[in-house]
Structure 1
Amino acid sequence: MKMQTLALAFLAATALGGLAWVFLYPILSGERKAENRRASIARSEPAASRQTDKNQRTRREQVEGSLKELEARRKKDKRVPLGVRLTQAGLDWTTQKFLVISGILAAVFFVLALLFGGGLLAAIGLAFAGGFGLPRWALSYLKKRREKNFLKALPDAVDVIVRGIKAGLPLFESIKVVAADSPDPLRSEFLAIIETQAIGMPLGEACARLYERMPVPEANFFGIVIAIQQKSGGNLSEALGNLSKVLRDRKKMAEKIQAMSMEAKASAGIIGSLPPTVMLLVYLSTPGYISVLWTHPTGQLMLVGCVVWMSIGIFVMKKMINFDF
């Protein structure tokens, strides 16, 4: 009986303690007030959150607009006219001369394909490759080679300008020194800056136009630094010194990337050269076995398909092993 009474008392005390914990503790500890404060803050948050969301949307719209503008500029830069591409490649040809030479190459490839019994389909394919693909590939090769030579000499030219400014020479005279002593194509580009400035264009704008003739980021950096200094002033020698350091660091990074990707490039070259090499060896050993590829219409179609698929594979491998930085 005593045990039952003690158990009931214990259960009653536990129940009363639980009720007190539920109803009295929040009042005594201040949790009720905290909940009221949180509720009031929650009621005031929607207006603030709406204002924050509005500001975030405004900033997001501004960023999206800037990105769209930059994307439009990039697409516009990709659609470079043929005359500008000829200038960027260092050629003084007119557009008509380039098109005439392309047409002559297409006719020569077409006639050679017919003379060697390649068939009409192969002749058309070779004419297209010789008249459209080969001249533009050569133009792109000359442009890249010219850009490479320009980037090779640009850091030294910037250092010459920095030393000239520190020695007391004006910026224009320092650019003249670079134009007189630098190798091509840097000399011709800086001579173009001098000629453009001589006809009345501001020096900052003349330097900014360097990017149109030499579309590399380093030329754009140089033009931006000069243009900003001409508009807002500042320590030009320090700015150009920092630019020279950036150019040299980018050059080191490019050489490091090239060294790291040489193994992949060698593998891609071996894979790409295997099919024509095997084809040549088979032709030297058994000419009648493989000559069906260019004497029979089905073989010609298969050969064109192989060339297309090999070109796609080489293009994909090139994209995989070339890095932008």
Structure 2
Amino acid sequence: MSATALSILAAVLGFIAVAGFGFALAGQSPSQARAAKRTQAILGREPRDAKARRATGATQDQRRKQILQSLKEQDRQQRKASLSIGARLQQAGLSINVRTFWLISAGLGVSVFLLILMAGQAAYVALGLAFAAGLGLPRWVVAMMAARRTKKFVEAFPDAMDIIVRGIKSGLPVNDSLRIIGAEAPEPLASEFRSLTENTGMGVSIDQAIDRMYERMPAQEVRFFGIVLAIQQKTGGNLAEALGNLSTVIRARKLMREKIKALSGEAVASAFIIGSLPPAVVVMITIMAPEYMAPLFTDVRGRIILLGGALLMGLGIWVMRRMIRMKI
């Protein structure tokens, strides 16, 4: 073979080698090209998807914060409203109005003031006891009656949820189940559900009717009941199952409350003994040696000591009560 032919053959082989090397580096099969295009498309869309997800997450967080803020505001307003005298009277189940309550309080205060003066005590002692009897005692009695009535309501509330669940499963409307509770449940559950059905019968929405029930009966179980009904009205779903779960939760809360009461029984007994021991000792010494305790009641310095001791004892009892109280 001539030199010219060898040169041409070498050039062709070199061209083929260079072309093959370049194709190996840059060339792609059709499937690889499609995969590369998909990869590029995915890579190109990732920032936009990430931005969209971040925007959605930020919107959801903002809505969640707004909902929590509105719930806190509603809870604050409802608590403020439930602390008024009119709300306390409704919670206690009393039919008197606020004006009658204040008249009774004023009459009690004046009566205590006159009785203390007739007993020979100083005017400022009579004034202090009259202030406590006229302003503190009636409010304390009403608050105690309201707490007792609320406790009875909460204890019977899971049975009411069971009645509604059984009524829905048997095909009864919710309003008919509520009427059954108002007719057959014990007090104060029956009267509250009768008021609820009367309000809904007058055209009031179920949300507003339950809000009114919460004003008369400020228990968290009532709020849970209203939330379940509101969610079911807006989104749908199995109301019987939701109320059954609510009944289970309320019973679990009651069980937890009883456990806490049992565990804190020793602390409650200790607080009662510590709080009642000083007044009991004072009474016993006064009975056994009245001349020894007389300066505490007749001398100004003794009265100041008694007043200071009473204030400190009240503060200590309040602190112990706050320490042993647990909210669920």
- Give the TM-score normalised by the residue count of structure 1: 0.79
Residue 234 (structure 1) aligned with residue 237 (structure 2): yes
CA contact (8 A) 1:117 1:295 kept: no
Aligned residues: 275
Q: Which amino acid in the other structure matches residue 135 of structure 2?
A: F
Residue 205 (structure 1) aligned with residue 208 (structure 2): yes
Among residues 219, 224, 231, which one is paired with 2:227 in the alignment? 224
Moved more, 111-120 or 86-95: 111-120
Hey, what does 1:147 align to over in structure 2? 150
Hey, what does 2:85 align to over in structure 1? 82
Aligned Cα RMSD in Å?
2.4
Distance in 2 of aligned mates of 1:155 and 1:87? 22
- Choose 1 or 2 for highest CA Rg: 2
Distance 1:56 1:297, change over 3 A: farther
Distance in 1 of aligned mates of 2:160 and 2:254? 14
Residue 193 (structure 1) aligned with residue 207 (structure 2): no
Among residues 178, 181, 185, which one is paired with 2:181 in the alignment? 178
Q: Secondary structure at the match of 2:327?
A: coil
Distance in 2 of aligned mates of 1:290 and 1:61? 67
Distance 1:220 1:165, change over 3 A: same
CA contact (8 A) 1:209 1:223 kept: no
CA contact (8 A) 2:78 2:215 kept: no
Gaps in structure 1 of 5+ consecutive residues: 1-51
CA shift, 1:293, in A, is 1.5
Q: Give deviations 1:61-98, integer Å, cap 9, x for gaps.
A: 77766655444434323322321221111111111000
Residue 114 (structure 1) aligned with residue 133 (structure 2): no
CA contact (8 A) 2:150 2:219 kept: yes
Moved more, 87-96 or 223-232: 223-232
CA contact (8 A) 1:149 1:185 kept: yes
CA shift, 1:281, in A, is 0.8
CA contact (8 A) 1:110 1:124 kept: yes
Gaps in structure 2 of 5+ consecutive residues: 1-52
Distance in 2 of aligned mates of 1:288 and 1:91? 46
Q: Secondary structure at the match of 1:184?
A: coil
Q: Which amino acid in the other structure matches residue 75 of structure 1?
A: R
What is the identity percentage for the equivalent residue pairs of Structure 1 and Structure 2? Answer: 45
1:157-172 to structure 2, matched below 5 A, reads 157-172=160-175
Hey, what does 1:323 align to over in structure 2? 326
Q: Secondary structure at the match of 1:240?
A: helix
- Give the TM-score normalised by the residue count of structure 2: 0.78
